[in-house]
Structure 1
């Protein structure tokens, strides 16, 4: 039986929204920036991002109480420590950001249903939206993902990498 995974509807418990702002925002920002930089040139083309050069972006995960601030420059994405209003701020719940990532929802649907809010430079927001629409992300298959993340599979890949490093390359 080949069922497609659908992200369940959820909202994080209110305690996350209260606790999130009290926690350091740098670790999740660094994770986001690392993921964006890993995707640059592969899944995320550089050309459509040119209007973002030198711009500050804020992503607010409303039900997690997280505010991730970053900027895009010649070398890629980097955390931003500037607390001034961003050039573009996007706000949504965790589930809606995940639905975007998993391609279950498109930015237009979320925007027009007021589940994705964009504030600041509207032209920049439109450019980001169009870039998101144009990214051809592979559909995640939960069965494949589960098999890749199984402890035995992780251990096998780890041992294989260790073995590769142990063998001198000529």
Structure 2
């Protein structure tokens, strides 16, 4: 028996309308609460794996990640004591947009950032050099989550 994809499962009446209302609500929320949670998570799973050189290369630049279908945005920067939330007033050096499934596959090492990028499942905008540094660093340390 093959597993069903989430899109092929039957949905109860009113599901799409409820999901749209939830997305609309999430889009209006400030990015600080989810950014704080993401920063704490990255402090545990990513920060210990970064060497001094990698930390220096990634430091002090704002990265914004948007989970497209949820309208969820996190804004982070790497500081001296770990990952920190970044305010909306700080212009991101890099914006990353993707569906949740693509981000999850990337974090688990089940998909390659280059492939997702060329298939337009992952969109990166901003400082190209910084984006390559981030991508190469993540490639070098391997999957963040198994």
Normalization by structure 1: what TM-score? 0.68
Unaligned runs of 5+ in 2: 8-15
Matched, 1:115 2:124: no
Displacement of 1:136 after TM fit? 2.6
Q: For 2:24, what is the secondary structure of its paired residue?
A: helix
Is the 2:108–2:145 contact (alpha carbons within 8 Å) kept by the matching residues of 1? yes
Unaligned runs of 5+ in 1: 1-5, 141-170
Displacement of 1:95 after TM fit? 0.7
Deviation sequence 1:131-164 (CA, Å, 0-9, x none): 1211233773xxxxxxxxxxxxxxxxxxxxxxxx
Normalization by structure 2: what TM-score? 0.78
Paired residues for 1:89-104 under 5 Å: 89-104=95-110
Aligned match of 2:59: 53
Instruction: Answer with 110-119 or 38-47: which moved more.
Output: 38-47
Displacement of 1:88 after TM fit? 0.8
Is the 2:61–2:78 contact (alpha carbons within 8 Å) kept by the matching residues of 1? yes
Instruction: Answer with 53-62 or 37-46: which moved more.
Output: 37-46
* Alignment RMSD (CA, Å): 2.5
Paired residues for 1:86-165 under 5 Å: 86-137=92-143, 140=146
- Matches of 2:63 and 2:102, distance apart in 1: 18
Alpha carbons of 1:49 and 1:119: their partners in 2 closer, same or farther (altered >3 Å)? farther
Question: Which structure would you say has the larger Rg?
Answer: 1
Alpha carbons of 1:139 and 1:65: their partners in 2 closer, same or farther (altered >3 Å)? closer
Alpha carbons of 1:112 and 1:21: their partners in 2 closer, same or farther (altered >3 Å)? same
- Matches of 1:35 and 1:89, distance apart in 2: 19
